Amino acid sequence: MSYRKHLLSARASRNPYSLRVFQPAATVKCDGARVFRSQVARDVACLLDVDPAVVSWSCVSMPLPGLDHVPDFEVVDVNGCVNFLDAPDRPTTPHLSAFTEAARKVGADYTVMARVDIYRGFRLRNAVDLLRYGNAAVPLGDRLRLLAALDEHGSLTMAECLKAFQETKPVAGLSALILQQFVEVDFDAGPFGPETQVRGITR
């Protein structure tokens, strides 16, 4: 059995982390149980959900091969590469080379996300704002109306986009379509507001 399959089969039966629920509750790219070690780890997951280079991520429940260290996340990117990722609020530095080597044994990388990459700028704040609506479902009609308007105009402000929603609560609908990567916004330009630009994604 591959290490990834071993992880997937073990998640339902083993959980080394607290059962405390960290906010926001919704996720969009999580594969499996949403069980976070800390609020900092939850914040990292928010960023993974809005990273276009990330296809999926999962909360790891088994240690790296030959070690007793359980990384916070297993992340799969658009190229199919796997990265074991830790949030910065744990003492990993003395063992970094051992963790990296253990990950390589299963064809993966190992990374510790820097705290500054989580909390600088507006990206996390904007991601959390959207994920409040992460469980919203957008009917086809609303999606088509918004995408057609963006095809016609190239880009619209958030305030203008809200007018396209007739079947869904507008803010929830727009947030869901951004999270599902039907449309895109700049997460780093500033806090989301009425004038934030929304663009269609060319696939």
pLDDT at position 16: 43
Decide: 199 and 155 in contact? Cβ < 8 Å.
yes
d(C-alpha 7, C-alpha 68), whole Å: 14
Neighbours of 191 (CB within 10 A): 9
Q: Is the pLDDT of residue 8 over 50?
A: no
Residues 106 and 10 grouped into a single domain:
yes
d(C-alpha 156, C-alpha 63), whole Å: 46
> Which residue blocks in the chain are alpha helix, DSSP H?
3-11, 39-49, 96-105, 115-119, 123-131, 140-153, 158-161, 170-179
Q: Is the pLDDT of residue 2 over 90?
A: no
Give the CA radius of gyration of the chain.
Answer: 19
pLDDT-based confidence at residue 202 (cuts at 50, 70, 90): confident
Out of 57, 90, 119, pick the residue that ends a domain: 119
Residues 95 and 150 grouped into a single domain:
no
d(C-alpha 86, C-alpha 40), whole Å: 10
* Residue 156 structural domain: 123-200
DSSP 162-174: GGG-SSS-HHHHH
Q: Is the pLDDT of residue 49 over 60?
A: yes
Residues 142 and 111 grouped into a single domain:
no
pLDDT in tens, 35-44: 999 999 999 9
Q: Can you tell me the mean pLDDT for 181-190?
A: 97
CA torsion sign, 108 to 109 to 111 to 117?
Answer: negative
pLDDT in tens, 77-111: 999 999 999 999 987 667 899 999 999 999 999 99
Please, what is the angle between helix 123-131 and helix 170-179, to 10°? Answer: 120
Please state the separation of Cα 87 from the chain's center in Å: 13
pLDDT at position 7: 47
Task: Give me the number of domains the chain comprises.
Answer: 2
d(C-alpha 90, C-alpha 70), whole Å: 11
Give the mean pLDDT of the chain: 90
Q: Is the pLDDT of residue 14 over 70?
A: no
Q: Can you tell me the mean pLDDT for 11-31?
A: 70
Q: What is the CATH number of the domain that holds 163?
A: 1.10.10
pLDDT in tens, 122-166: 999 999 999 999 999 999 999 999 999 999 999 999 999 999 999
Beta bridge partners of 112: 86
Amino acid at 65: P
> Which residue blocks in 79-133 are alpha helix, DSSP H?
96-105, 115-119, 123-131
Q: What is the CATH number of the domain that holds 16?
A: 3.40.1350
Residues 128 and 114 grouped into a single domain:
no
pLDDT at position 37: 93
d(C-alpha 160, C-alpha 146), whole Å: 10
Q: Can you tell me the mean pLDDT for 110-121?
A: 96
Residues 84 and 67 grouped into a single domain:
yes
pTM: 0.87
